[in-house]
A and B are shown apart, each in its own frame.
Chain A
Amino acid sequence: MSHYRPLTREQLAQRIANDLPDGSYVNLGIGMPTRLARCLPQDRDIILHSENGILGMGPGGDEIVDPDLINASKEPITLIPGASICDHVVSFTMMRGGHIDITVLGAYQVSADGDLANWDTGTPDAIPAVGGAMDLAVGAREVWVMMEHTSKKREPKIVPRCTLPLTGERVVDRIYSDLARIDVTPQGLLVRAMVPGLDADTLQALTAAPLRFDEPLAVLSA
């Protein structure tokens, strides 16, 4: 039994934010990924896109700055110097046409091939609601998933094949969970980093798809 501590959501957001390159255009999905907006490294220009036509989004707060300044989650946001506004045609051209460098999305399941399920929990009475998730999944140059390693019921979310409705096929490039960073490669899932104290057998036991481990393995920390 290994002794390890999963990253908190704040720590995970900080870690992913630290991995965003200078000068990159980034779209943050609704839910957990919106936390990244508050912890971007100050020494880099990272330009955040929001699907409702905003490029150059600043951190949000609880206070409404302007009713016409909201993010994809409909929360109030600010603009940074250099921001621009466009309509939905242009905004989704950015998303679908490979102009967004990286999108960070939440997920219910990711498969060994990088299939993504993040829009429908499959519950019978759920109202189908996809938003811009499918456009982003196929259109961003890189798709990073940010999620807890297992579900609330402790079931693996990284699986051989998704059982929930798909958002996109073979779209995920890397997974950041609260336990590990895992890349989707043509040879399968490759663990690049793990939280301190976690061992390979324990991580594999929490993951339904087979894992390979990079050597040397990096430490996943904020």
Chain B
Amino acid sequence: MLDKTIASLAEAVQDVPDGATLLVGGFGASGIPTELLCALLDQGARELTVVNNNGGNGPIGLSQLFLAGRVRKLICSFARSANPAQPSAAAFAEVYRAGKIELECVPQGIMVERMRAAAAGLGPFFSPVGYGSQLAAGKETRVIDGRGYVLEQPLPGDYALVKAFEADRWGNLTYRYAGRNFGPVMCMAARTAVVQVDRIVPLGSMPPEQVMTPGIFVKRVVQVARGDRA
């Protein structure tokens, strides 16, 4: 019997090794797997490379991993606090300015497409995004039919940590509204996608055409109980 449900958050992340590359979902406060990140903090893995759109979102979750010195490198499109009045990425700024973390700033859509390339079995690809800018520095470029392109590398993950809405025991997923954001591509691009959900539902209860991530891309699902809420 195929059953991807995991009983606890701790079990869901227990084998993440030091040095792993983690694809972490979420955009702003929406779709962040905060409880899985807290479980990873307790688990203790170090020297992590984290791929996330933002430099944390408030004091809980990624920010704790930054402050605890667990993250060696962040691959990110927007590591700054969007609103200086609510500094969501303050912990990252502190660690970055102290020289304790490496930052690779990537255009958001290129971060996505590099993961998609890895997920879809593709190699490097040419993109016009960032051509002529400092984010293209050190990358191969080529002019094709008069347009400049930058060669971008696939971005696979060892693990994905994703938040979805509902899952069944095969790992089929739905997401709430814009909480979907990076979830589908990160599940596809990681060898082991670990997904926290609000609800685990019986197999066969999801309308097939409404499944947003087919279970083949998901290894583990864990339901976040009310007491687990970060």
Contacts and interface: CB of A to CB of B under 8 A. Distances in A.
B108 A139 contact: no
Interface string B25-39: 001111100000000
A132 B183 CA distance: 17
A66 B79 contact: no
Interface stretch (A150-158, A162-170, A208-216): A162-170
B109 A69 contact: no
A169 B135 CA distance: 13
B107 A134 contact: yes
Contacts of B80: 126-127, 129
Given A125-B97, A128-B79, A130-B78, A87 B180 contact: yes
Contact of A127 (B30, B96, B112, B134): B96
A53 B130 CA distance: 21
B182 A127 contact: no
B155 to A, nearest CB: 13
B55 A86 contact: no
Interface in A51-69: 51-54, 66-69
Interface of B: 27-31, 55, 76-80, 82-83, 88-89, 92-93, 96-97, 103, 105-110, 112-113, 116, 127-135, 148, 175-185, 212
Interface of A: 30, 50-54, 66-70, 73-74, 85-89, 92, 95-96, 120, 125-135, 138-139, 165-169
A68 B179 contact: yes
B183 A87 contact: yes
Most buried by A among B27, B107, B112, B132: B107
A35 to B, nearest CB: 16
Nearest to B57: A74
A50 B148 CA distance: 26
Which of B28, B97, B109: most chain A Cβ within 10 A? B109
A82 B49 CA distance: 39
| Interface pairs A-B: 9 shortest CB-CB | A92-B109, A135-B109, A74-B28, A68-B177, A129-B80, A68-B179, A128-B105, A134-B107, A132-B108
Contacts of B180: 53, 85-87
A131 B58 CA distance: 18
Contact of B29 (A54, A67, A95, A120): A67
A89 B30 contact: no
Contact of A89 (B96, B112, B178): B112
